[in-house]
A and B are shown apart, each in its own frame.
Chain A
Amino acid sequence: DAGVTQSPTHLIKTRGQHVTLRCSPISGHKSVSWYQQVLGQGPQFIFQYYEKEERGRGNFPDRFSARQFPNYSSELNVNALLLGDSALYLCASSQAVSSYNEQFFGPGTRLTVL
């Protein structure tokens, strides 16, 4: 079975632009979470979605938004990009939203903001 897939793998944007990152969860998984990993740091939680509803939001500005589609795939949108948004964006999927449910991480999307 395929693991969590993310697209694109890399992208370069300039300040002020908008970006959309995509994530396809493992088949059968209904929860998707997004994390931001700045170089040299651990991942930071951004959003969690379950059954198309937002279940959690981390300490990120309103420029960050996300949604989950009926097929459980997800998009992360970032508006008005700043240099500090440069990071690896990780998507994780799980069957449900309990801590008992292991999260499986995708390879990430490397975003560079110039």
Chain B
Amino acid sequence: AQSVTQPDIHITVSEGASLELRCNYSYGATPYLFWYVQSPGQGLQLLLKYFSGDTLVQGIKGFEAEFKRSQSSFNLRKPSVHWSDAAEYFCAVGANAGNMLTFGGGTRLMVKP
């Protein structure tokens, strides 16, 4: 069975600082990996996805993520955080057949002025 672990429940960074959110997955085959963001009172918005090819993927809002098969990781990064980035971030893995997603527990990001 597939699973996703996000080791950090809460992270606080200063505005303008760099950010890295960790994600580890367990999946028997080639994973389909996603990062979503959820702001209060809103649904999930897709930031980026990895299916194959270049292991560094670019997403919206200046985010990027790197797939490392040897470490079973798909960490999300941003070089300079803005106050509007404060939200909850979810890493997810999708099955080869069908697009049912398995989500991690989420990381809540707080941004200090």
Taking Cβ atoms with an 8 Å cutoff, the residues of A that contact B are 4, 31, 33, 35, 40-45, 48, 55-56, 58, 90, 92, 94, 97-108
- The answer to whether residues A102 and B43 also contact, given A42-B105, A43-B103, A45-B101 and a CB cut-off of 8 A, is no
Taking Cβ atoms with an 8 Å cutoff, the residues of B that contact A are 4, 6, 32, 36, 41-46, 49, 51, 90, 92, 94-106
Question: How many angstroms between the C-alpha atoms of A1 and B82 in the bound complex?
Answer: 28
Establish whether residues A58 and B100, one from each chain, have CB atoms under 8 Å apart when the complex forms: yes
- The answer to whether residues A45 and B51 also contact, given A4-B43, A99-B94, A108-B43 and a CB cut-off of 8 A, is no
For chains A and B in complex, what number of residue pairs have CB atoms within 8 angstroms? 68
Establish whether residues A107 and B101, one from each chain, have CB atoms under 8 Å apart when the complex forms: no
Question: How many angstroms between the C-alpha atoms of A98 and B43 in the bound complex?
Answer: 21
Question: How many angstroms between the C-alpha atoms of A99 and B93 in the bound complex?
Answer: 9
Q: For the complex, would chain A's binding face be called helix, strand, loop or mixed by DSSP majority?
A: loop
Which among A44, A94, A99, A106 is the interface contact of B43 at CB below 8 angstroms? A106
Question: How many angstroms between the C-alpha atoms of A104 and B95 in the bound complex?
Answer: 17
Establish whether residues A107 and B42, one from each chain, have CB atoms under 8 Å apart when the complex forms: yes
Establish whether residues A94 and B99, one from each chain, have CB atoms under 8 Å apart when the complex forms: yes
Residues of A within 8 A of B98 (CB): 48, 55-56, 97-99
- Nearest to B6 among chain A residues (CB) is A42
Establish whether residues A42 and B103, one from each chain, have CB atoms under 8 Å apart when the complex forms: yes
- The answer to whether residues A105 and B44 also contact, given A98-B98, A99-B98 and a CB cut-off of 8 A, is yes
Establish whether residues B42 and A41, one from each chain, have CB atoms under 8 Å apart when the complex forms: no
- Nearest to B33 among chain A residues (CB) is A99
List of 5 A-B pairs having minimum Cβ-Cβ separation, nearest first: A42-B103, A105-B43, A99-B94, A99-B32, A105-B44
